[in-house]
Amino acid sequence: MIVFDRRARPRVLAASTVFLCWVAAAAETPPPPAEYGYRVVESFPHDPEAFTQGLLFRYGRLFESTGGYGTSTLREVDLETGRVVRERRLGEGLFGEGLALVGDRLVQLTWREGVGFVYDAGTLRTVGSFAYEGEGWGLASDGERVVMSDGTATLRFLDPATLEESGRIQVAGPEGPVAGLNELELVGGVLYANVWRTDRIAMIDPENGRLRGWLDLAGILPVVFRRETTAELNGIAHDPATGRLFVTGKRWPRLFEIELVAAGAE
Ligand SMILES: [Ca+2]
């Protein structure tokens, strides 16, 4: 038989109240974003004409989406040599953008054309297309989620089956919204996003848009490799099978495999 002891009740309530206050305080003041630098593990050749807008690595294969009117492509690239293995050229009026693997399909965005393309990942044959509002920038998927950026601080989620929009979140850190979100990659549940015209990658909690960290890749492309046409860092690919992380940039002659180094640990 359970005897209810009235005297015990206030203590339980007090303890739960303290716990709830603690949870609320923790929610209001998230930890500051962690800061990371990098170590180059290996450097590979990269097509210096490739205006990289999307990069992904799965099942031992490297795929890239390149932009520019008249120069946009979807391509499979040999990692070791940088050689194009197979390629689909987009029409003159299309500017290629973000790229993601969803099941056995590659999905590619265009910049201002409001149309995305779906390809058979084995052959790069076009198997479909879809429409969306506004601009297309970055795209990433872990198979269950498809995340899209449009150059603002807003991320959209697309239904993996229909590629229709299913929700939006805002990305923000202690200093406010993080705008200019570009090429994307899901890395073990954290969304990495190139920030337009910077050497920094924002590390984002895709559940709530909270900025969890910064990866600073300043200086990764040596000055000797820079040309007049070389533009900014843009392109992140993570191989979930091995944990390898690759980065490159627009018209960069090199692609780098890197490891993260916690700031202050160098
Ligand atoms: Ca990517």
For 120-153, the DSSP string reads: ETTT--EEEEEE-SS----EEE-SS-EEEE-SSS
Taking the C-alpha atoms of residue 113 and residue 63, their distance in angstroms, rounded to an integer, is 22
Using DSSP's 3-state secondary structure scheme, residue 55 falls into strand
Helix (H) or strand (E) holding 25: helix 8-28
Is residue 179, in this structure, part of any structural domain at all?
yes
Is residue 210, in this structure, part of any structural domain at all?
yes
| Tokens 């269950």, residue located | 144
Is residue 22, in this structure, part of any structural domain at all?
no
Domain that holds residue 237: 31-262
Ligand 1 centroid to residue 237 C-alpha, Å:
5
Q: Which of 99, 128, 131, 126 is nearest to 114 (CA)?
A: 131
Ligand 1 centroid to residue 93 C-alpha, Å:
23
Ligand 1 centroid to residue 182 C-alpha, Å:
10
Per the structure, how many domains does the chain have?
Answer: 1
Ligand 1 centroid to residue 2 C-alpha, Å:
59
Quick one: pLDDT at residue 17?
55
Q: Which of 183, 201, 185, 184 is nearest to 243 (CA)?
A: 185
Taking the C-alpha atoms of residue 62 and residue 123, their distance in angstroms, rounded to an integer, is 14
Is residue 232, in this structure, part of any structural domain at all?
yes
Is residue 76, in this structure, part of any structural domain at all?
yes
CATH number (domain holding residue 61): 2.120.10.30
Ligand 1 centroid to residue 207 C-alpha, Å:
18
Ligand 1 centroid to residue 78 C-alpha, Å:
16
Ligand 1 centroid to residue 55 C-alpha, Å:
4
Q: Which of 63, 36, 102 is nearest to 248 (CA)?
A: 63
Which residues in the chain land under pLDDT 70? 1-28, 266
Q: Which of 134, 131, 124 is nearest to 155 (CA)?
A: 134
Ligand 1 centroid to residue 224 C-alpha, Å:
26
Q: Name the phi and psi angles at 25, rounded to 5.
A: -65, -40
Residues whose CB falls within 8 Å of the CB of residue 264, separated by 6 or more in sequence, listed in order: none
Per DSSP (E only), the strands in 46-114 are: 52-58, 61-66, 73-77, 84-89, 96-102, 105-110
Ligand 1 centroid to residue 26 C-alpha, Å:
32
Ligand 1 centroid to residue 8 C-alpha, Å:
55
Is residue 10, in this structure, part of any structural domain at all?
no
Ligand 1 centroid to residue 174 C-alpha, Å:
25
CA atoms within 13 A on the CB side of 21: 6
Is residue 16, in this structure, part of any structural domain at all?
no
Is residue 25, in this structure, part of any structural domain at all?
no
Ligand 1 centroid to residue 140 C-alpha, Å:
6
For the entire predicted model, the pTM comes to 0.89
b/e code 161-188 from CB counts within 10 Å (16+ = b): eebeeeeebebbbeeeebebbbbbbbbe
